[in-house]
Structures are given as structure tokens and as C-alpha cells.
């Protein structure tokens, strides 16, 4: 008799920090559901990297910001996986559309809030009941330095991530007695496509460690928070920023 498959969903898992998290959780024995909205080539590459490291998973394309699609996807998933549930959820899907607030358009505000904040709500709500029934779950939200200190030109992004931090703390209190932990990880400057257009040499002089972080460094922290060893940690927003802001 084989052990039941253990599932982890990583939203926005096709590249960058999301890809590194997928690989990290696969190494810990999870079957990875790699979510993405677009970019099938990158998502496929993530899955290939998971498999080349001895893990396994599948692609799960959907838009986290569409509540109807989210509900439909997970209804279908449950129908095909009776008795199973997704025990690890990493809410990583996010976008930036930077602009000074005086020039910011409605769609720039709405798109960032929809993906970074509403996406957390829709996906987490869809999976939470199963975690509570099974009395085990890990919800890990990928926040940002912007959500703690704020950054100019990122009023929309800072608002979304700051709200995500507050939601993390509130939800943690709701579910703590059921064996479900809820934490957030707030990266600083990490070497991903999200930093395209930013000058590393100019920025790293303000970082005590004098460098940008690597996606794998964030993934290791997420991997720990997903583990049973982190069972007494909940409601935390943990910064990983090389000492830039503490």
C-alpha cells in the first residue's frame, strides 16, 4: 500500500520566486500544482525542473483574480481527487504596475489589487475548508518589503501587500486551533524579472549585505514554514531582505 500523495499549490509558480518554491517543496516530497495565468513555456520549464530533481507535479492554469474560474477549477479538482486535499498553499501570484499616484490610472490600481490581494482571498477561501476538516494546513503568502515600509511609485502594490500582511494575521487567529498556520514572507530585492528596470548597483549600496537575494533563499524559508517543524509559528510576517529594513 502506497502513501497518499501530498499536494502543494503554488500560484504564480512558472518563474522567479514561484519557480524556486515549486522546486523546494517538490524536494520535500510534495506533488506540485504549478499555477500560472499565461506563459505556458515557462510553466512547462518549471515542471521539467521539478521532475529533473526527482519530484513530480502538474500544471494548473487559471487566473487567481477571477472568482468564478477559481471556484470552477477547485470544484473540478475535488471531483477528480476524492478523499484528497491540497495541504500547502503558497499565494505567490503577483504583478507590479508602478506609477506615481498622481498619474496612476484606475486599471493600474485595480489590476494590482485584483491579482495580489483578491487572488489571495479567492484561492485561500476555496481551499481553507478542507484544511480545517483535515486539521492540517499551511498557508504562506508572499508579501513584499513594499507592504511593510512602502516604496514611492508603488502605492497600489504597497497597498495590496500591506493588506495581505494584515489579512495574514487575522486569518491566522481564525484557524490556529485547527492545526492550520498562516504566515507571510516579505522579500526585499530578489533577483527576478519583477526587478527589471531597477539598477542593482544603485540599490545594493543601501542593503547591509550589499547584494540582492536569490529566489532559492526565499524558497528555503517557505519550505521551512510549510513543514511540521514550523507548527508553532503563525500570524507572522517574516522579512527576508539582507537587513535593508527590519
pLDDT tens-digit readout, 28-54? 999 999 999 998 999 999 999 999 999
- Find where cell 530533481 sits: 53
Neighbours of 83 (CB within 10 A): 6
For residue 202, the model assigns a pLDDT of 83
CA atoms within 13 A on the CB side of 220: 6
Of 80, 79, 23, 33, the C-alpha closest to 216 is 23
Residues catalogued as catalytic: 157
Neighbours of 184 (CB within 10 A): 28
Which stretches in the chain have pLDDT values below 50?
Answer: 1-2
Question: What residues form DSSP beta bridges with 187?
Answer: 240
For residue 4, the model assigns a pLDDT of 84
Per residue in 213-227, pLDDT (tens digit) is: 999 999 999 999 999
Domains of the chain: 7-240 (3.40.50.720)
Of 52, 95, 70, 82, the C-alpha closest to 9 is 70
For residue 246, the model assigns a pLDDT of 65
Secondary structure element (H or E) that encloses residue 200, with its range: helix 200-203
Per residue in 105-116, pLDDT (tens digit) is: 999 999 999 999
For residue 149, the model assigns a pLDDT of 92
Distance (Å, whole) CA 11 – CA 127: 13
CA atoms within 13 A on the CB side of 70: 18
Distance (Å, whole) CA 59 – CA 242: 32
For residue 201, the model assigns a pLDDT of 82
Of 29, 27, 28, 34, the C-alpha closest to 11 is 34
Q: What's the grid cell of residue 152?
A: 514611492
Amino acid at each position: 500500500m502506497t502513501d497518499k500523495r501530498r499536494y502543494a499549490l503554488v500560484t504564480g509558480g512558472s518563474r522567479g520566486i514561484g519557480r524556486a518554491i515549486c522546486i523546494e517543496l517538490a524536494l520535500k516530497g510534495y506533488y506540485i500544482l504549478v499555477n500560472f495565468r499565461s506563459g505556458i513555456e515557462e510553466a512547462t520549464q518549471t515542471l521539467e525542473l521539478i521532475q529533473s530533481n526527482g519530484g513530480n507535479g502538474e500544471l494548473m492554469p487559471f487566473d487567481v483574480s477571477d472568482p468564478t474560474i477559481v471556484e470552477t477549477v477547485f470544484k473540478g479538482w475535488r471531483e477528480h481527487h476524492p478523499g484528497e486535499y491540497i495541504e500547502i498553499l503558497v499565494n505567490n501570484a503577483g504583478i507590479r504596475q508602478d506609477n506615481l499616484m498622481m498619474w496612476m490610472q484606475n486599471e493600474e490600481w485595480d489590476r494590482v489589487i485584483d491579482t495580489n490581494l483578491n487572488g489571495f482571498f479567492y484561492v485561500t477561501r476555496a481551499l481553507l475548508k478542507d484544511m480545517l476538516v483535515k486539521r492540517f494546513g499551511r498557508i504562506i503568502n508572499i508579501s513584499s518589503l513594499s507592504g511593510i515600509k512602502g516604496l514611492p511609485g508603488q502605492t497600489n502594490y504597497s497597498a495590496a501587500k500591506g493588506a495581505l500582511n494584515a489579512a495574514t494575521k487575522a486569518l491566522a487567529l481564525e484557524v490556529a486551533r485547527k492545526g492550520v498556520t498562516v504566515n507571510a514572507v516579505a522579500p526585499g530585492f530578489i533577483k527576478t524579472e519583477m526587478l527589471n528596470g531597477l539598477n542593482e548597483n544603485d540599490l545594493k549600496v543601501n542593503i547591509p549585505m550589499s547584494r540582492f537575494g536569490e529566489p532559492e533563499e526565499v524558497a528555503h524559508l517557505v519550505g521551512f514554514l510549510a513543514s511540521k517543524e514550523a507548527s508553532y509559528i503563525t500570524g507572522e510576517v517574516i522579512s527576508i531582505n539582507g537587513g535593508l529594513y527590519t
